[in-house]
């Protein structure tokens, strides 16, 4: 039985802690803030409750597996997990709307044909077939196995298949997600539908590899799910599972150094000078935080994947409304940008800027647990923004103005949002930075193949033996499911050793 110190109480860190405790280890978690969950937070005010991080879950099997492997109670016994249907309502730039059913290829094809015209559904359906091929080729090495030592095989090979080109009498392979849209989908509304999945993770579809097709495929294949009471309930359930397995939590404690002895990790030094000895250290923190704690040792081993840089952040507007949620309202609506090129240039170009009419996600949960009564509604608006504010104006002023612009943009989905408005609160990149320690409030994307490894994440092992990394900034990357997977990988590497090759 080993002593294991975990830095941070994010979802990946807690997933690892619970699995390691069940394996018989003594696990202690040290979290610099006063609560668990990392970016999975909640704001409560006047009887309203809002998720300030992720609002929906894909691949719930990851957390089902966690609960099965760490105790007799299944996930559904501790949270109320419901499938969202329709999965998404899309409001396109030209005013066209389409409701896409959850996890139904035939239903999606029919809905797109009805909304966008004959053949639109068939093109999207054919795309999903190719996206599944990319998924099948990359699922194990990207999600279920530790990062291969020869990770460059994943970096060099584009798993998205070639497509026959009728006029050229040959096949051609898309190199980017934008090329998939332009060559195979063609309709600008289908392109917007495709690219919205990349934008939600802060990825520029013009440079994101074609393998990013797995992002919409995951939603299509495994569905979109909501936890009643908000996604914070999932974090609570994972935390309570850790406590039940005798994981110790220390909140309000800052780790200043990872201790080394005989060339391997030996514990932690805390801000008050206290030393916590351990045979293994698991770090669930942003790279820059870990770099400050590991002195004189390169955390990422030589030959590691290229460092991620320039990732955007998010702005979230929490809106309390008078009047109940109308019948027929979609849980999630994506309001697409009016000008795709302008949005992409402001997000990913050389000059900083905020698009007043960006791609906007509107969440309207049908959940009495998040409102003070049936005559109120809680709505969350989320958009991707650059990770750093305009340095010529105070950040609070910039984002306050942008929040007003997002409420205006949301009128395309909720026409009476302003006349029903009671109050609003804004969560900006600085709030994400405070919760996670990530510079500028950057949000990590899921790992993707191809693109010369730019969207792979560092291995869970490090250049310091005995030190492992977990969570969105390490393999297999960002997102709630990926965080849970990283916890499983780290636990496997510690329990079974370097020969661990993932779940079978």
What are the structure tokens assigned to 159, written together? 């798993």
Residue range 40-47: mean pLDDT, rounded: 96
What are the structure tokens assigned to 365, written together? 């949960």
Phi, psi (deg, nearest 5) at residue 377: -140, 140
pLDDT tens digits for 424-476? 999 999 899 888 888 888 899 999 999 998 999 999 999 999 999 999 999 99
- Give the pLDDT band of residue 174 (cuts 50, 70, 90): confident
Write down the pLDDT at residue 471. 96
- Over 60: is that where the pLDDT of 4 sits? yes
Write down the pLDDT at residue 303. 47
Chain CA centroid to CA 27, Å: 26
Mean pLDDT over the full length of the chain: 92
- Give the pLDDT band of residue 44 (cuts 50, 70, 90): very high
Write down the pLDDT at residue 288. 86
What's the burial of 384, exposed, middle or buried (CB within 10 Å: 0-12/13-18/19+)? Answer: buried
Write down the pLDDT at residue 296. 62
Give the CA radius of gyration of the chain: 22
For the chain, percent of residues with pLDDT exceeding 90: 79
299 vs 476 pLDDT, higher one? 476
Torsion of CA 153, 158, 162, 167, to 10 degrees: -120
Instruction: Give how far Cα 492 sits from Cα of 95, 200, 203, 398, 479, Å.
Output: 49, 30, 30, 45, 20
Q: Rounded to an integer, what distance in angstroms lies between the CA atom of residue 481 and that of residue 50? A: 20
Phi, psi (deg, nearest 5) at residue 482: -65, -35
Enumerate residues 6+ apart whose C-beta is below 8 A from 189: 90, 92, 93, 94, 96, 98, 116, 120, 336
Write down the pLDDT at residue 304. 54
pLDDT tens digits for 79-119? 999 999 999 999 999 999 999 999 888 999 999 999 999 89
Write down the pLDDT at residue 167. 57
- Give the pLDDT band of residue 173 (cuts 50, 70, 90): confident
Q: Cβ–Cβ contacts within 10 Å for residue 430, how many? A: 17
Residue range 226-245: mean pLDDT, rounded: 97
- Give the pLDDT band of residue 388 (cuts 50, 70, 90): low
Write out 341-404 in H/E/C secondary structure: HHHHHHHHCCCCCCCCCCCEEEECCCCHHHCCCCCEEEEEEEEEECCCCCCCCCHHHHHHHHHH
What DSSP line would sit under 181-206, residue for residue? IIIII-SHHHHHHHHHHHHHTT--TT
Instruction: Give how far Cα 417 sits from Cα of 230, 407, 494, Å.
Output: 21, 7, 51
pLDDT tens digits for 280-295? 999 999 988 998 999 7
- Over 60: is that where the pLDDT of 307 sits? no
Chain CA centroid to CA 490, Å: 19
Phi, psi (deg, nearest 5) at residue 225: -130, 155
- Give the pLDDT band of residue 302 (cuts 50, 70, 90): very low
- Predicted TM-score (pTM) of this structure: 0.94
Residue range 70-77: mean pLDDT, rounded: 91
- Over 70: is that where the pLDDT of 300 sits? no
Structural contact between residues 460 and 146, judged by C-beta atoms closer than 8 angstroms: yes
Structural contact between residues 406 and 315, judged by C-beta atoms closer than 8 angstroms: yes
Strand-pair category, 88-91 with 332-335: parallel
pLDDT tens digits for 143-164? 999 998 888 888 888 999 988 7
């Amino acid at each position: 039985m080993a002593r294991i110190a975990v830095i941070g109480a994010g979802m990946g860190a807690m997933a690892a802690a619970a699995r390691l405790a069940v394996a018989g280890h003594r696990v202690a978690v040290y979290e610099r803030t006063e609560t668990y969950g990392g970016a999975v937070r909640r704001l409560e005010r006047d009887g309203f409750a809002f998720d300030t991080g992720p609002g929906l879950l894909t691949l719930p099997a990851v957390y089902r597996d966690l609960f099965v492997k760490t105790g007799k109670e299944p996930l559904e016994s501790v949270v109320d997990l419901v499938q969202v249907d329709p999965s998404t309502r899309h409001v396109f730039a030209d005013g066209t709307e389409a409701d896409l059913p959850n996890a139904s290829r035939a239903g999606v094809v029919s809905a797109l044909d009805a909304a966008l015209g004959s053949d639109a559904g068939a093109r999207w359906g054919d795309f999903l077939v190719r996206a599944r091929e990319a998924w099948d080729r990359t699922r194990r090495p990207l999600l279920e196995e530790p990062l291969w030592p020869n990770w460059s095989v994943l970096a060099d090979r584009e798993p998205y298949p070639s497509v026959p080109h009728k006029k050229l009498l040959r096949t051609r392979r898309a190199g980017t997600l934008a090329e998939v849209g332009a060559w195979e989908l063609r309709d600008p509304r289908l392109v917007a539908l495709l690219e919205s999945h990349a934008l939600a993770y802060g990825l520029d579809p013009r440079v994101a590899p074609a393998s990013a097709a797995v992002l919409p495929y995951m939603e299509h294949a495994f569905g979109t799910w909501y936890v009643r009471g908000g996604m914070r309930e999932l974090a609570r359930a994972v935390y309570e599972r850790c406590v039940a397995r005798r994981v110790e939590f220390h909140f309000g404690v800052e780790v200043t150094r990872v201790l080394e002895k005989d060339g391997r990790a030996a514990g932690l030094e805390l801000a008050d000078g206290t030393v916590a000895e351990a045979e293994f250290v698991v770090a669930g923190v942003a790279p820059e935080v870990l770099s400050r704690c590991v002195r004189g040792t390169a955390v990422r081993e030589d030959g590691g994947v290229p460092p991620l840089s320039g990732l955007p952040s998010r702005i979230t507007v929490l809106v309390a409304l008078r009047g109940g949620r109308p019948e027929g309202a979609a849980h999630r609506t994506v309001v697409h940008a009016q000008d795709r090129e302008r949005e992409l240039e402001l997000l990913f170009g050389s000059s900083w800027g905020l698009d007043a009419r960006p791609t906007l996600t509107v969440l309207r949960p049908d959940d009495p647990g998040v409102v003070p009564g049936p005559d109120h509604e809680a709505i969350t608006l989320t958009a991707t923004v650059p990770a750093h504010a305009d340095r010529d104006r105070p950040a609070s002023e910039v984002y306050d103005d942008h929040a007003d612009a997002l409420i205006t943009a949301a009128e395309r989905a909720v026409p009476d949002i302003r006349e029903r408005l009671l109050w609003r609160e804004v969560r900006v990149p600085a709030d994400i930075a405070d919760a996670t320690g990530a510079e500028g409030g950057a949000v990590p994307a899921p790992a993707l193949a191809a693109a010369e490894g730019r969207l792979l994440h560092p291995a869970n092992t490090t250049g310091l033996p005995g030190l492992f990394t977990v969570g969105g900034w390490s393999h297999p990357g960002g997102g709630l499911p990926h965080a849970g997977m990283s916890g499983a990988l780290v636990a496997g590497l510690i329990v079974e050793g370097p020969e661990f090759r993932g779940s079978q």
